[in-house]
Amino acid sequence: MLLDLIENRKSVREYLEDDISNDDLKKILKAGYLAPSWMNSQPWKFILVKNQDTKELLSQLSGNQPHVKNANALIVCIADKNGWSKEEFGKVLAARGIGESGREKIFNIPMFYPPLLGEDKVLLRTVEQVTYAVSYMMLEAKDLGIDSCIIGAISNEATVKNDDLIEKVNKVLNLNNNEVIITIITLGYAKENTPSNKIRKDFDEIVHFEKKGNKLTI
Ligand SMILES: Cc1cc2nc3c(=O)[nH]c(=O)nc-3n(C[C@H](O)[C@H](O)[C@H](O)COP(=O)(O)O)c2cc1C
């Protein structure tokens, strides 16, 4: 049952040296690739990183978090703001059978086309898409017996920008200024007895029935 998997998943920050097979890595990436997105926009890129020097550079980008350099592999998850350009977004709309006049209509409706609402909204909606893919990859990894940790404390537009470091990373990963690293997924096999932070607020504080404040009674 998927819920069992979800209950058993925890963020793991200490890994064995065992390698993850390429087959498994591909399955994890495929789960992200197949994730849903707003009108199928897919404004993302996922870069698998196994190279140790790159891992160390990415650890620096994440404030020297040790699990970033110690993981067996990393998936760098990128919000591609260019995914909303008329050209790129237009391609996916066309693939859905939306003709030129339909596409033009969409490009003029703020609710459907984030660029009409400004840069911040573009980033917000792009990040929104990436998070679904991250969840899919993390759960596929767990289903394969592979542990992970989401790394969101990264120097980027959503945190504190270190332009020099970002420029260095972008060069190594061949990214342009429209491509923002939002998340790094660390992957590896957990060391025995790795600690767990799996504490949550009370279920009734979070989940409500019909309106906020009503306890779920089903
Ligand atoms: C968006 C996001 C960003 C996160 N960033 C980091 C991070 O930078 N470093 C880290 O060690 N864990 C990070 N985490 C993991 C959380 O600390 C962890 O999910 C939370 O404490 C709950 O624990 P659990 O995943 O074991 O259930 C992040 C999680 C999310 C969803």
Q: Kindly state if the Cβ of 152 falls inside 6 Å of ligand 1.
A: yes
Q: Kindly state if the Cβ of 169 falls inside 6 Å of ligand 1.
A: no
Count of alpha carbons within 13 angstroms of residue 87, beta-carbon side: 2
Q: What string of H, E and C letters represents the secondary structure of 158-174? A: CCCCCHHHHHHHHHHHC
- Over 90: is that where the pLDDT of 196 sits? no
Q: What is the 24 CA–ligand 1 centroid distance (Å)?
A: 22
Per residue in 92-116, pLDDT (tens digit) is 999 999 999 999 999 999 999 999 9
Atom 10 of ligand 1, nearest CA residue: 151
Q: Kindly state if the Cβ of 11 falls inside 6 Å of ligand 1.
A: yes
Q: What is the 187 CA–ligand 1 centroid distance (Å)?
A: 13
What's the rounded Cα separation, in Å, for the pair 14 and 161?
A: 27
- Which one, of 56, 76, 78, 80, lies nearest residue 68 by Cα? 56
Report the topology of domain 2-206: NADH Oxidase (3.40.109)
**Which residue type does 202 have?**
D
For 15, counting Cβ atoms within 10 Å of its Cβ (0-12 exposed, 13-18 middle, 19+ buried), the class is buried
Atom of ligand 1 nearest to the CA of 131: 1
Per residue in 156-190, pLDDT (tens digit) is 998 999 999 999 999 999 999 999 999 999 999 99
